[in-house]
Amino acid sequence: MTQWMFRDYQRPITDGPDEILVNEVLGWTLGLPKKAQAKIDTIIITLQSCPGVWPPQYVSDCGFTDIWELRAGCSGVQYRPLGFYGPGRKVFTIVIGTIEKGGKIPEGDGNSAIERRSRVLKGWPTCEHEFTKSAP
C-alpha cells in the first residue's frame, strides 16, 4: 500500500502559450548507469510504502535548509536525489539530482535545491515521480 507520493521537478523547454515541460529528475536519472537507476527506483518504492519515519540509510539531512537527500550508493558513487517534504501531507518532491563528493553535496546543487523548493511552494509545476525502465 502506498503511503507516500513522490513528485518530480519540471522545467520548461519552450516559452509562451505552448510551453512544454520536461521532468528534470527523470532526465538526470536516465543519464546514470542502469544499476544506479535501479537502486534509486528501489529506494523510492521502499519509501513510498513506509508508514513511519523513513530509515536513515535511505534519507538524511544533507546540510541545506529544508532539503533532504535520498541515499543511493552504487559502484562506489554516492548518488543523491535532493528534495523536500511537501507540498502537502505525505508528499516528497525531488528537485535535483547530484553526486556527493568527499562526503558533501556540491554547494551549487544544494543552493539550486533550495531555490527550486521555494519555486514549487509558490506553484511551480511538478509531476508524479516517473520511474526508469530499471525499476524492479
pLDDT tens sequence across 2-14: 899 999 999 888 7
Q: Which fold has domain 5-9+22-128?
A: YaeB-like fold (3.30.2310)
Q: Tell me how far apart the alpha carbons of residues 28 and 74 are, in angstroms, rounded to a whole number.
A: 16
- Ordered by start, the domain boundaries in the chain are 5-9+22-128
Residue type, position 42, single letter: T
pLDDT tens sequence across 25-70: 999 999 999 999 999 999 999 999 998 889 999 999 999 999 999 9
Q: Tell me how far apart the alpha carbons of residues 87 and 81 are, in angstroms, rounded to a whole number.
A: 17
Q: Tell me how far apart the alpha carbons of residues 9 and 31 are, in angstroms, rounded to a whole number.
A: 16
Written as nine digits, the cell of 43 is 529506494
